[in-house]
Structure 1
Amino acid sequence: MTQKLLTLMGLLSICLYSYAQQIIKPGVKTATTFAIVVDNTSYEKTKNALEAYKQSIEADGLGTYLLVDEWKSPEQIRKLLIQLHSDRKSPLEGCVFVGDIPIPMLRDAQHLTSAFKMDQKHDWKESSVPSDRYYDDFGLKFDFLKQDADIPLYFYYSLRADSKQYLSPDIYSARIKPLELEGVDKYQLLNKYLEKLVAEKRENANNVVDYLSMGRGHGYNSEDPTAWSGEQLAIREQLPQLFRPGSTVKFFDFDVNFPIKNTYLNEVQSKELDIMLFHHHGAPDTQYLNGYEEVNTIDPSIENIKRFLRSKIPAFAETKGKEAAIAEYMKRYNVPREWCEEAFDPEKIKEDSLYNLSLDIHTTDIHPLKPQARFIMFDACFNGSFYEKDNIAGAYVFSDGKTVVAQGGTVNTIQDKWPDEFLGLLGAGMRIGQFNRLVCYLENHLIGDPTFHFANNSGIDVDINRALVLEEGNLNYWKKQLDSPLPDMRALALRELCKGGYDQLPELLEKSYFTSDYFVVRLEAMRLLALNYPEKAIKVLQAALNDGYELVRRFACEYVEKNGHPDLIPAVIKAYLERQHESRLNFKLISGLGAFDTNALLQELDKQAANKYFYDSSYVDRFRKQIKQSEKRMQADLKEMFDTTVKPNRVRLDIVVYRNHPNTAGIDPLLKFASDETRDKKLRLAAIETLGWFNENYRRNDIVSGLKQIKTDDKELKNEIEKTIQRLIDGRGVHN
């Protein structure tokens, strides 16, 4: 009887599960497929719109699954995606998560982000990275940790030591998660977006990239005009059609009008706008555009000082008291008392609040808009925080208008990246999903439809979407693309040859760098060489520090610091002496001085300076001083690291500083610390993990050897050693 009951219960369970999950297969046979993953409630509330969305994708030649369930965990979804991708007859090329789909919160994977390095002792909601790389990069392996008690959609995972330690997504993905605004039905918002999307794909299927605008905010890339102009030159190379009669391309800087907010909100609503690129700092609900206005007369300058005082004094007063705060700032800045007292004037507080609102774009500014840009890129921190009820990317996508997809980061993101890598391929009809797959970090996400693409007006007759899926690993195919008339296609060919394991790649990359007239090809070649073959990158890096494209120079400076080979010292000194006027490059050069021996730097500086003519050599003296100061700081940190009387938190900071600056000088001390059984285990773990950030260093094999000599029975230490060794062996893979 018991057995029969169990059997009956099992059958009932299967029936209920079958009822809950629906797998609606593609209605057309195509070479590749796509999947819409949606929760039951969202499906029931927007069924007709979802069916229309599915049909619109299939009308574009991409068979589409509709996967409906009350999804209980990310594992359930990932397993299904892997299964569909493994279909040789018609492999899955991408997916979109519609509605309330579980959100993987990834831990122990900060090296896969561009900039996120928070101490994981903090609240897990803040110190984890919301990332759909869990779903789209099948080579990553994770251990499940827990489901969040407060937000059930959050599922925490730890990246395993035996996982690959770089990103190379197998499929692309995106989120269509409607905003949750007070007084607004989120399902109506979702339905409205899907209807907008379907209409855009039906009515403008032949729309080409012929109108692009770019806007920059204050503080971006040190506000370097050389970096700004360099990007414009590269866009001319990647999308030449934008610069022909009948097309439109615009470049806005934050200081052309004050405040620039109004100009940007007007521009993003320009009819026929195809792509909007935003470069600025950000928060989940804010695009930071302006600081105080730069002024040249006395009264406005005084007002700026007053605003500064009013912004600082109240916070100081909360801990020290009103009178103490006023007295402190009067003394610190030698200003009148009445200027400081204004910080507590209700009218001034209200006035400042309105002024501050005028400086930046907030989600509340976007909701009533009708953005026309079909695709918007947010090169900023947190603007792609789809897990928030309201967020910048979502605000544009779920507004009226024609914006159907946006790219943004779920956490903070680094400024010094290549945001426009492969942008030219959008003009060749590449799906936005494939674009994100090629350039993603752990935090990069698409909000909206990843299958969206523009019509091909690039001048090349190539089905780029088919090639990216069905020609993957076909070395002969990609070698032919090295002669493509489209520079981004040549750069992509280098990437695909690297991914496919082409055995003559280092030689090809070096040749491509030294023979190509295209900025983007040289940058791709240098990056692939520096990231994957640091021991063979010296010659190219030496030349790249003086490349004609600013971003090549800037990336070369970063790779030179991380490589650390002594033969790079002459090129570093030459770059400073000849290009110290480039503020962003200069910043990178100064911050990377610790990578090299101080005496060798000083000797080379004296040698090269002796052969130059100067009207004013003060900048050489400053550089000499900065070299010495860098050495002094580094020695102080190393001394403190090994001082057993120093508090553990301080020692940890001395260790993890090498994450941002993995200088060669830190290798041996970190190995020594990691080997010391008398030190706190958590600090040893930090030292071992930090050594994994040296994966671009010319001595990375020495680190592997040193780690293998550490003998321990402790499971945590053994796991971290294994993971770090894997990171060093993997390098950075073929991606960022």
Structure 2
Amino acid sequence: MRLVLLYLALWSFAFASAHTVIEPPVSQGLTSFAIVVDNSTYEATRMALLKYRDAVEADGLSTYIIRGDWNTPDEVKLEIIKVYHQAVHLEGIVLVGDIPVAMIRNAQHLTTAFKMNEETFPFPQSSVPSDRFYDDLHLKFDFIGQDSVRTNHFYYKLSEDSPQCLNPNFYSARIKYPDGWKGDKYVALSDFFIKAADTKKQISKDPLDNIVAFNGGAYNSDCLIAWMDEEKAYRENFPLAFYKGQNFKHLNFRMDKAMKHSLLDELQRPDIDLFMFHEHGLPTKQVINNERTGDKFEERLRLVKTYLYHSLQKMVAAGKNEDSLKQILIEKYHLTDAFFKELHLDSFWKNDSIISADVYLTPEDLSGVATYPKIVLFNACYNGSFQDDDYLAAYYLFNRGNTVVAQGNTRNVLQDRWTIELIGLLSHGVRVGQYNRLIATLEGHLMGDPTARFAPIITDLKLDADIELKQGQSDYWSKLISVPYADIQSLTLRMIVDADSLCTNANEILNIFKSTSWNTVRMEALKLLGRYNNACFTEAVHMGIGDSYELIARHSANYAGEIGDPVLLPALIREWIDGGERQRVGYIINSVLPLFPQNEVECAIDEFYRQTERTNALEEQIQVKKILNRKFAMVEQINAKIKNEKLPVTERIAAIRMLRNNPYHCYVLDYLDLLACKETPVKVRVAMAEALGWFVHSQERIRILEGCRKLLQTDLPDELYLELQQTIKRLI
């Protein structure tokens, strides 16, 4: 383990003098903001940083500067907390320069998709770099240690007695020049501050009306319905962008085999306000197109040549004779000698490299390019990996264009998440940071200026201030439910539910779900009903499976699996068999049906075919059951491994970890018995306790809570006691 375990030493550093200075605001606004910076960066960029500070204050935010020689994240956080308590409503911070990175463990349930085994993978890979350490003061962390190689990285465990959900007190962002880049980082940071200050004056007066959205290859199963249906939401999110044909471009990778060149053209349009990438990604790559499959004979021939040439070269490199290998391939695939005439031609391999490169958008493509969208969103894995020496989002920020803020992820991210939730608030004068705080995940971050905002559509409605100053005032927000803009209505629902500590508004939210014509408002209502976790939620999910908006159908299908109530099966079966054009919905239903009791699923299938008149219905019914029988056989194998006392502990734990994505509701009694059995190895019991914490929406949730609470009253090993405590907090 690459850790310097100096717990006591580091804590003594954290509370020693670090030459910290808190510079108060120059002017007074309704709310406040803080620039957190290391002393070296402050001294080297002071004039530009102060210009940025002045621009933020001119936009209505009293702005503090917190500077110091930072040794640990705790030290930085301590100073932020001081300002949080003394400021007039601190609404956000930006972390500038060399601010320590908190690497979070024991909190994968706060991510959308990251589920790497923390026991078997190294700390740097299995921890989540997250600034929720700084902006969510509700969370409690236990310090583990400092990385011995990346000494600016510090490992923390989410405490078992901490709140187990995200609720940031304020928004945050990073302005970080990549450590691995050449050039003067202080010059680059100064240039960015000047750009952010100048751009702020422009965009706060401009409406959000020029937008590009792009879906890359293999995203959401390449489902065209999913891609097309998003325009239903975009029209609600960005009402000003649909008056002219060029104001909103809804692009798809299918439009060109090398779509990245069109995207580079769009990125250099000076009038673009917002650019949304929905794609797969890596720290320094955006996946734009799928690998080519060949739609013409010449293309298919090239692909065959490329494959066989690569195979041949690999074997030659291993010491095999080239001529002999050629002869084998000629005989095996009925080829001629002429097939290999391009094997050693530079022109062939150059063309092959170009075609391969066209799949990705890379730093080489972006080098020297001025990107002009003020805001760029990367709904992709890893594109926001600011903790690395190089990260893709930086290429959009540190250039001479107008891009001042990017949203990206430090780890992999679920592609089925609602990527544009509340995005339309940007049409109403809400700051990017305020929007991002409302949709917080552990891995999701802003990079750049989080205070950026566009001119609001309704000039006398001050949502940017109301979001901050009218939290908890349900009466105020209820008055806005009739404002004729979808995202304002969605925000209203969110604020009402946030303030509903007694959980009395489920029926009201359900009625809105049933009655509203706004697609995004229905989606917000569905998500909020998940907090109530009651019959209203199940009813909405049942209706949502067949909703006209694909995203609602997709999320409802997933929620149905998480709930596990057989009453949802008829709707799932109908959508699965009749709704084949919704590829991603079908994929999810295919995944969640094995979470239900097999006999209930088979009964629902039989009932569906009794009431339908389909061609070859009997043959189809038999095939459908065969598909599911194979899946249910796998379920039995997984659960047999979990119970098998003769298997190695590691194999049983690997099977238990499957429950994180697959809550097998009908096996809960078995799981609780295993959990309570003192003869079961402690590590297996701990793994089961952790896995049961993922049954958040399960109809067995109360039973699990009762079992865990009862077990807590007995004599338990410390690690099992702590894990049970955490599971209970996750389920209540």
1:476 aligns with 2:475: yes
TM-score, scaled relative to structure 1: 0.92
Pair 1:183–1:160, CA change in 2 (3 A): closer
> Alpha-carbon deviation of 1:341?
8.1
1:418-567 correspondence runs (5 A): 418-457=418-457, 459=458, 461-501=460-500, 503-567=503-567
Contact 2:105 2:127 in 1 (8 A): yes
1:646-661 correspondence runs (5 A): 646-661=647-662
1:329-354 CA distance string (max 9 Å, x none): 96999685989989985845555333
Question: What residue number does 1:372 align with?
Answer: 372
Q: Which moved more, 1:533-542 or 1:205-214?
A: 533-542
Question: What residue number does 2:568 align with?
Answer: 568
Q: Which moved more, 1:542-551 or 1:70-79?
A: 70-79
SS of the equivalent of 1:517 reads: coil
Contact 1:71 1:101 in 2 (8 A): yes
SS of the equivalent of 2:22 reads: strand
Select the residue among 94, 104, 112 that pairs with 1:114. Answer: 112
Partners of 2:82 and 2:238 in 1: CA distance: 37
Partners of 1:333 and 1:291 in 2: CA distance: 29
1:567-716 correspondence runs (5 A): 567-617=567-617, 619-710=620-711, 711-716=714-719
> Alpha-carbon deviation of 1:581?
2.5
> Alpha-carbon deviation of 1:576?
1.5
Pair 1:318–1:400, CA change in 2 (3 A): same
Contact 2:550 2:582 in 1 (8 A): no
Partners of 1:673 and 1:338 in 2: CA distance: 65
Question: What residue number does 2:267 align with?
Answer: 268
Pair 1:191–1:671, CA change in 2 (3 A): same
Partners of 2:321 and 2:127 in 1: CA distance: 38
Pair 1:40–1:306, CA change in 2 (3 A): same
> Alpha-carbon deviation of 1:675?
2.2
- The number of residues matched between the two structures is 714
Question: What residue number does 1:101 align with?
Answer: 99
SS of the equivalent of 2:33 reads: strand
Contact 2:408 2:445 in 1 (8 A): yes
1:609-633 CA distance string (max 9 Å, x none): 1221213546544322222111111
Question: What residue number does 1:135 align with?
Answer: 134
1:212 aligns with 2:215: no
AA at the equivalent of 1:66 = I
> Alpha-carbon deviation of 1:208?
1.5
Pair 1:532–1:352, CA change in 2 (3 A): farther
> Alpha-carbon deviation of 1:411?
0.3
Percentage of pairs with the same residue: 31
Select the residue among 696, 719, 722 that pairs with 1:719. Answer: 722
Partners of 2:280 and 2:478 in 1: CA distance: 39
SS of the equivalent of 2:168 reads: coil
Partners of 2:97 and 2:245 in 1: CA distance: 40
AA at the equivalent of 1:97 = L
AA at the equivalent of 2:92 = G
Pair 1:337–1:705, CA change in 2 (3 A): farther
1:728 aligns with 2:727: no
Pair 1:47–1:704, CA change in 2 (3 A): same
Pair 1:456–1:583, CA change in 2 (3 A): same
Contact 1:273 1:374 in 2 (8 A): yes
1:85-111 CA distance string (max 9 Å, x none): 234x71111000000001000000000
Q: Which moved more, 1:107-116 or 1:193-202?
A: 193-202
1:695-735 CA distance string (max 9 Å, x none): 11121111011122333331111000100111011xxxxxx
Pair 1:346–1:94, CA change in 2 (3 A): farther
Pair 1:339–1:685, CA change in 2 (3 A): farther
> Alpha-carbon deviation of 1:547?
0.6
Partners of 2:507 and 2:689 in 1: CA distance: 33
Partners of 1:86 and 1:322 in 2: CA distance: 74
Pair 1:188–1:568, CA change in 2 (3 A): same
Pair 1:631–1:480, CA change in 2 (3 A): same
Pair 1:340–1:156, CA change in 2 (3 A): farther
Question: What residue number does 1:6 align with?
Answer: none
> Alpha-carbon deviation of 1:301?
1.4
Q: Which moved more, 1:39-48 or 1:617-626?
A: 617-626
Partners of 1:500 and 1:232 in 2: CA distance: 31
AA at the equivalent of 1:543 = M
Question: What residue number does 2:401 align with?
Answer: 401
Partners of 2:441 and 2:174 in 1: CA distance: 16
SS of the equivalent of 1:134 reads: helix
1:545-571 CA distance string (max 9 Å, x none): 011100000000010000101211111
Partners of 2:342 and 2:492 in 1: CA distance: 59
AA at the equivalent of 2:100 = P
SS of the equivalent of 2:164 reads: coil
Partners of 1:41 and 1:703 in 2: CA distance: 52
Pair 1:655–1:331, CA change in 2 (3 A): farther
Partners of 1:715 and 1:221 in 2: CA distance: 42
Question: What residue number does 1:75 align with?
Answer: 74
Listed as ranges, the gaps of 5+ residues in structure 2 are 1-12
AA at the equivalent of 1:86 = H
> Alpha-carbon deviation of 1:464?
1.2
Contact 1:383 1:410 in 2 (8 A): yes
Contact 1:529 1:537 in 2 (8 A): yes
Pair 1:309–1:38, CA change in 2 (3 A): farther
> Alpha-carbon deviation of 1:361?
0.5
Contact 2:203 2:453 in 1 (8 A): no
Pair 1:411–1:345, CA change in 2 (3 A): farther
Contact 2:204 2:452 in 1 (8 A): no
Partners of 1:583 and 1:62 in 2: CA distance: 46
1:31 aligns with 2:64: no
Contact 1:363 1:390 in 2 (8 A): no
> Alpha-carbon deviation of 1:321?
7.6
Partners of 1:709 and 1:133 in 2: CA distance: 33
Pair 1:181–1:128, CA change in 2 (3 A): closer
1:249-268 CA distance string (max 9 Å, x none): 00111011111110111111
Partners of 1:337 and 1:686 in 2: CA distance: 58
1:226 aligns with 2:225: yes
Pair 1:313–1:632, CA change in 2 (3 A): farther
1:92 aligns with 2:90: yes
Contact 1:535 1:698 in 2 (8 A): no
RMSD of aligned C-alpha atoms? Answer: 2.8
Partners of 1:126 and 1:310 in 2: CA distance: 35
AA at the equivalent of 1:496 = M
AA at the equivalent of 2:91 = E
Contact 1:310 1:343 in 2 (8 A): no
Contact 2:203 2:455 in 1 (8 A): no
Q: Which moved more, 1:209-218 or 1:304-313?
A: 304-313
1:263-412 correspondence runs (5 A): 263-309=262-308, 347=346, 351-412=351-412
SS of the equivalent of 1:445 reads: strand
Contact 2:397 2:448 in 1 (8 A): yes
Question: What residue number does 2:235 align with?
Answer: 236
Pair 1:169–1:346, CA change in 2 (3 A): farther
Contact 1:254 1:290 in 2 (8 A): yes
Question: What residue number does 1:5 align with?
Answer: none
> Alpha-carbon deviation of 1:304?
2.2
Partners of 2:134 and 2:594 in 1: CA distance: 39
1:245-256 correspondence runs (5 A): 245=244, 248-256=247-255
1:476-529 CA distance string (max 9 Å, x none): 112112222111111111111121125422111111111111111111111111
Pair 1:665–1:316, CA change in 2 (3 A): farther
1:619-655 CA distance string (max 9 Å, x none): 5443222221111110011112222332333222211
